Amino acid sequence: MVPGPYLLYLGSSRDEVGIKTSRGLAVFRAEDCVGEFRRDDCPLTLGLARLGFADAVGAGANTLVLGIVNAGGRLAPQLVDDAEAALAAGLHVASGLHHRLKDEPRLVAAAQRHGRTLFDVREPPADLSVGNGAPRAGLRLLTVGTDCSVGKMYTTLALEKELRARSIKADFRATGQTGILISGSGVPLDAVIADFISGAIEMISPPRHDGGWDLIEGQGSLFHPSFAGVSTGLLHGAQPDALVICHDPVRAHMRGVPHFRLPDIGACLEANIKVAQLTNPAVQAVGIALNTSMLPRGEAAALCAETSVQLGLPCTDPIAFGVTSIIDRLLQCFAPLAPGQTALS
């Protein structure tokens, strides 16, 4: 567990999507976030107090979270400088980047010198097994997407909250660094060796016998040329009974690859169902989640209604309008299971 409270790092970021880890913590762990660190050239804010490292310690922060993402997940020189300064001020440092803090000699030395700890969140367990695809008890929902960073984690957490509000047992299963920081557990799937991806998901979503739901955070997209491999393994290992597809309706192209257009929602959903049928032939779609944060509210509501009619599924923006309609469909499709029963039986 990464000790809170947190100071959230924005640095010199200019990409709203690139600060998604810091933003996710600010939204879902607001009570543990005392402020944000941003340089003068950073135009973004989370609406938190802007604090330096020493001020953050004085405000009660224990850990600087490097809550940004970049191509390749690298620790840029500026990031290393800031992390070293944070350690000197008395903060632990946590990062979800592929480039490990523990592989940066300056930071290892600084942490030892100041008695602080480095937390590499994107460190998969060492004891993973390959998946076997055998039917297992319980109910599982997986969020999938037309692209990366279209709201899969937000949607999954919203679904968990709504199920629990209805007194239905439900557990969020994190597969990315932001979700792991929010929930305190999970597997960073994009850091897992390919052979073990499906096995990793089988591990974090084992058989359950209480009639509840595992809500599994999706990653990437089957249509993204960079990350479709992770998405495929996740679909097989999750063995989902239900799928919710996530989409950003104002995005012009796939993130990071402007020469690839976003796929049609219906075509993407059909492809995800076909891939998921390898380990659960009975999988079905139960809803569509749109990220309409860039649209006026009236236009967003109209788009959700239009998309719902076109695809014959409930469609909503989980943040703007909630997920009641998707949960209603989910519970219509899946009656509670008897103890030990599997949805495949």
What pLDDT is stored for residue 18 in this prediction?
86
**pLDDT, tens digit, 9 for 90 and up, residues 100-146:** 999 999 999 999 999 999 999 998 988 899 999 999 999 999 999 99
| Amino acid 74: pLDDT | 82
pLDDT tens profile 313-323: 999 999 999 99
Q: Single out the residue of 200, 197, 285 nearest to residue 241, CA to CA.
A: 285
245 located within any domain: yes
340 pLDDT higher than 60: no
Q: Is residue 131 part of a domain?
A: no
The reported pLDDT for the residue numbered 256 is 87
Please indicate, yes or no, if residue 343 is contained in any of the structural domains.
no
Range(s) of the domain holding residue 172: 139-333
Minimal CA–CA distance to 107: which of 64, 67, 73? 64
pLDDT the model gives residue 235:
98
Do 73 and 163 reside in the same domain of the chain?
no
* pLDDT at site 293: 92
Sort 226 into a burial class: Cβ within 10 Å, 0-12 / 13-18 / 19+: middle
Distance set, CA 48 to CA 5, 36, 152, 270 (Å) = 13, 6, 24, 41
**Are residues 152 and 19 part of one domain?**
no
Burial of 215 (0-12, 13-18, 19+ CB in 10 A): buried
Residue 278 to residues 84, 220, 272, 287, 314, Cα–Cα distance (Å): 47, 19, 11, 21, 25
Please give the average per-residue pLDDT across 251-276, as a whole number. 95
Give me the CATH number covering residue 242.
3.40.50.300
Identify the band that residue 76 occupies on the pLDDT scale cut at 50, 70 and 90: confident
* Interstrand relation of 170-173 and 242-247 (parallel, antiparallel or unpaired): unpaired
Q: Is there a domain that residue 125 lies in?
A: no
In this structure, the answer to whether residues 116 and 143 fall within a common structural domain is no
pLDDT of residue 265: 97
278 in the same domain as 308: yes
pTM for the model: 0.89
92 and 235 share a domain?
no
Residues 242 and 206 in one domain: yes
Q: Three-class SS of residue 180? A: helix
Q: Is residue 313 part of a domain?
A: yes
What is the pLDDT at residue 220? 94
The CATH number covering residue 14 comes to 3.40.50.720
pLDDT band, very low/low/confident/very high, at 212 (cuts 50, 70, 90): very high
Residues 108 and 32 in one domain: yes
112 lies in the same domain as 230: no
Please say if the pLDDT value at position 295 is more than 60.
yes
Q: Is residue 321 part of a domain?
A: yes
Q: Which of 184-188, 252-256, 334-338 has the lowest mean pLDDT?
A: 334-338
How many structural domains comprise the chain? Answer: 2
pLDDT over 70 (residue 336): no
